Amino acid sequence: MIEGTNPFYFSFLFFGLCFILFLICSLRITFKYLNLNYNPSTLEKGSFMKMRIVALLLAITMIMLAVSGCTDTGSTGEEIDNPEIGSVSDAVSLDEVPAGFEMIGERQLDSGSVLDGVGSEDTVVEATQGIYKNGDSVEVQISAIECTDTEAAQTLVNDYKNEFNPMAQGERFTEHSINDHFATRIIWHVTEGGEDVPRYAYVWNNDSMVIQVRGTTSDPNLLLTFAEATGY
C-alpha cells in the first residue's frame, strides 16, 4: 500500500469499476429485451459512439480520483492533538519582555490567595506569579493558576469578577481579544499622591489555566502588551 493511502479510495475504485460493469451489462440486457442486436450496425453510429465516450470518461474520472487519493501523503488519517498547555512557570516567564522591563523574580502562590483570595484547594492545582519592573519602578505582575479542569478555571474567573461592585459611572468590565481568547479588562481606582487614579487587570482562562495581568500603572495598553506576550 502506498504511504499515506486512505483505504476509502481503494473501496471507491472497486465499487466504481463494479458500477461500470453493471452499467454495461444492464445495457446489453436492455437491448436484448427490446429484441435489439447489441452491435454498432443496429444503432445509429453517432449515438453508439457517444455512449462509448461517456462510459469511457466515467471510468477515467473514477480511476483518477482513486489514484489521487492513493498518492496523497498530506493526510495519514491520524488525528493531530492540539499542543498541551504548558506549566504555570512557562506562562509567567516571557520569551519577549516588553521594552524597558526585566523580570525580577517569580514566586509561588497559595491556592487561597490567588485572584484576591477567591481560589480554593479544591479547584487550584498550582499557581505562580512573575514580577517585572522598569526603571520608573512600574511593576507588572503576571499570575498563572492551573485549575483542576476548564470548568473550574471559568468559575474562578467569574468568582473574581463578582468581587467587584458595579461602577457609578462607566463600565467596570470590557472584553478584549488576547491570543485568540476573550479576556476581561477590569478597572478600579486607587488614591496615589492625593489623586484618584485608575488601575487595570486583564483576566482570562485558556482551558484549565487562568491568567491575570495587573500592575502599578494607569496605562492599560502596557498591560495588554504583557498579556499578549504570555502567548496564552
pLDDT band at 14 (very low <50, low <70, confident <90, very high): low
Q: Given a cut of 50, is residue 58 above it in pLDDT?
A: yes
Class of domain 88-229: alpha beta
- Residue 73: the pLDDT is 42
- Residue 27: the pLDDT is 54
- Residue 128: the pLDDT is 97
- Residue 199: the pLDDT is 98
Higher pLDDT, 28 or 151: 151
Phi, psi of 111 (to 5 degrees): -60, -35
Instruction: Say whether 11 sits in a helix, a strand or coil.
Output: helix
Q: Given a cut of 60, is residue 134 above it in pLDDT?
A: yes
Name the one residue in this structure whose C-alpha cell is 498541551: 84
CA angle 30/31/33 to nearest 5° reads 65
- Residue 114: the pLDDT is 93
Q: Are 135 and 163 in contact (CB under 8 A)?
A: no
* Dist. CA 49–CA 62, nearest whole Å: 20
Q: Are 135 and 150 in contact (CB under 8 A)?
A: no
* Dist. CA 105–CA 93, nearest whole Å: 10
pLDDT band at 54 (very low <50, low <70, confident <90, very high): low
Mean pLDDT of the chain: 80
**E strands of 97-194, at which residues?**
101-108, 124-134, 139-147, 173-178, 181-192
Full-model pTM: 0.64
Amino acid at 91: A
Q: Where are the domains of the chain?
A: 7-70, 88-229
Higher pLDDT, 16 or 112: 112
Question: Which grid cell sits at 213?
Answer: 495581568
Q: Are 146 and 208 in contact (CB under 8 A)?
A: yes
Per-residue model confidence as pLDDT tens digits over 167-185: 999 999 999 999 999 999 9
Average of per-residue pLDDT across 144-155: 97
- Residue 87: the pLDDT is 87
Average of per-residue pLDDT across 53-82: 52
Higher pLDDT, 159 or 34: 159
Average of per-residue pLDDT across 49-63: 60
